[in-house]
Amino acid sequence: MTSSLESLNRWVEDVARLTEAEKIHWCDGSESEERLLKEQMLASGDLIGLNPETHPGCTLHRSSPTDVARVEHLTFICTRDRDDAGPNNHWMAPSEAHAKVDALFAGAMRGRTLYVVPYCMGPIDSPISRCGVEITDSPYVVANMRIMTRMGSAALARIERDGHFVKGLHSIGDLDPEKRFIMHFPEELTIKSIGSGYGGNALLGKKCHALRIGSWQARSEGWLAEHMLIVGIENPRGETRYIAAAFPSACGKTNLAMLIPPESYREAGWKVWTVGDDICWMKPGEDGQLWAINPEAGYFGVAPGTDRTTNPNALTMIQHDTIFTNVGVTADNQPWWEGLSEGVPARDWQGRPHDPGQGPAAHPNARFTVSAKQCPSWSPMAEAAEGVPISAIVFGGRRPSLIPLVFEARDWTHGVLVGAAMGSETTAAATGAVGVLRRDSMAMKPFCGYNFADYFSHWLSFDKPGAKLPKIFHVNWFRKGADGKFLWPGFGENLRVLEWIIGRCDGSRSAVETPVGRVPAATDINLDGLGLSAAAIDSLLEIDVDGWGREMAATGEYLDSFGARMPQALKAEQKRMAEALSKSTPSQVRAAGG
């Protein structure tokens, strides 16, 4: 029987021959290795040193102007049966995909070092964690993977114990957009990515493994791999409840994960603990609850918009030992981006003298890569092998109208429908138009590694005897008034909504039944000191029956678009909601809400 390490060695040798790599370097994750790589990248220009007095240990990477975001149209799920990939994914037959991408890998590492990066997604000793190996010719990728995963010798030892691992092959190639592909082979637990050095396309432990391949693994093994933050809310009695929340990229996940309570809450003893800001792996425990880990060890966050007012914890943690990507710099070489209240940009993200006429100083999708442990609100429970118990699952997106500030699903099936139907305005985190409303089920549209209809069935399968499932909610921080301004202040004040959510989980808070779910009355949420008008509060919690009727009709069409595999239970729930709305009047809903 061949051991996993023998299999790994053979694979590395085969890739080295195909790519014609000049050297092979096995990464051990040590500090000495990190120092050497950093020195090499500073010498080559892959990294640029930033001001050592203001930002010690920080560096800047500038990527190609054609390589600044995920490329969903070049990302493929390659399954034998096209229907297994589903209409939510671009599909290519595995034989065709291997042939196409291997032709591009031929000779791609000529004159370069091939790095072998063994990594573990999640705490090394967690039964929920899974391992992989990324082969890459990018030292920038190695540096990022060291921050984002448990990388090196310990991961290699676990791979030997487990006897299996996810294979990830990456090369920056010649950065030609016409030769750029991100291929996933879930049946083979294999990823092949070429032509991009950007994070989501090149850090294969992140979206490629943790979500696309991870979701396939999760379905076959009975757990969930989700695009969710994990945050712990500690009340004044010292009790901590954990919430998993899904938002599309650049819609406030990191801000919520690192939320700082309003002053009145801090004085009362409330605390917020960050377990993760982007990815959540959940597995049923023996007690029937869902237990979750953050499979990542770092944050790959969006820099623009990060400031002391929006996310003080994030700004604090990136003041040292951080890799910045595609930000601008000030005259004294400090990182700068739009939304930062201090400093003036001297050069833009492409290294040109900053000219507002040429666009923003930082790319809208500029990033920072930093160790999770540098976050002031980092929770030691992020390293707990058993994970943390999830009390609530929260969905949300950017919706300027219709969706109220918060509502609770009536049961698990309704909650799955709420997650399936969620939509958001698009952002700069993916290529394409910005500000367009698109459905993004569970914030997994770009990341689910198989047919969404099967994915919804998998979610529904957790509702079984003995299960103690989290309650499911939907929030909308982005509702606007007639003047086009946000009605809700957001940021730290979102804790007021989370307090109600936790109260619903422990039975201490009331709610109003409506055709779309349970909504708080104005008196159910602590609004003290916010200065919101009665009209603003009414608008935030309003249920527009006619609008929701149209929403449910559109949701039905969306579910039907996935064909015969769509679970009937979800279609029945959509019909139930549509009928309940058709029998309601706006006055009834207002009367029910007081």
Q: What is the separation, in whole angstroms, between the first and last Cα of the chain?
A: 69
CA–chain centroid gap for 472, Å, is 18
User: Could you tell me the two tokens for 323?
Assistant: 């890799």
Only one residue has tokens 């706006």, namely 586
Integer Cα distance of 84 and 114 in angstroms: 33
Strand partners, 219: none
List all residues 6 or more positions away from 392 whose beta carbon is below 8 Å from its beta carbon.
Answer: 241, 243, 244, 470, 471, 472, 473, 501, 502, 504, 505
- Choose among 334, 463, 455, 473: nearest CA to 395: 473
For residues 117 and 29, give the distance between their C-alpha atoms in angstroms, rounded to a whole number. Answer: 9
The pairs formed by 327-332 with CB atoms below 8 angstroms and a separation of 24 or more are: 327/60, 327/303, 327/361, 327/362, 327/363, 327/366, 327/368, 328/354, 328/360, 328/361, 328/362, 329/50, 329/60, 332/51, 332/54
Buried b (16+ CB within 10 A) or exposed e, 183-218: bbbbeebbbbbbbbbbbbbbbbbbbbbbbbbbbbbb
Structure tokens at 358: 């040429």
Contact (CB, 8 A) for 393 and 244: yes
Task: Give the DSSP letter of residue 412.
Answer: H
- Amino acid letter for position 411: D
What residue type is assigned to position 503 of the chain? G
Q: How many residues does the chain have?
A: 594
Backbone angles phi, psi at 118, to 5 degrees: -80, 135
Hunting for tokens 């993200």 — which residue is that?
A: 349
Separation in Å, CA 312 to CA 52, 254, 259, 360, 528:
21, 11, 9, 22, 23
Q: Which of 58, 120, 208, 251 is catalytic?
A: 251
Residue 32, phi then psi, degrees to nearest 5? -65, -40
Listed in sequence order, the residues at least 6 apart from 469 whose beta carbon sits closer than 8 Å to its beta carbon are 289, 290, 412, 462, 463
Asked if 277 and 269 touch (Cβ cutoff 8 Å), the reply is no
Report whether 464 contacts 478 (CB < 8 A).
no
Q: Distance between CA atoms of 166 and 564, rounded to whole angstroms?
A: 31
CA distance readout (Å), 215 to 76, 227, 246, 454, 546: 15, 10, 15, 11, 36
* Backbone φ, ψ for residue 174 (5° rounding): -110, 20
251 counts as catalytic: yes
Task: Check if the beta carbon of residue 117 is closer than 8 Å to that of residue 142.
Answer: yes
**181-185 and 75-77 beta bridge pairing:** parallel
Place of tokens 């499911």: 472
Active site members: 251
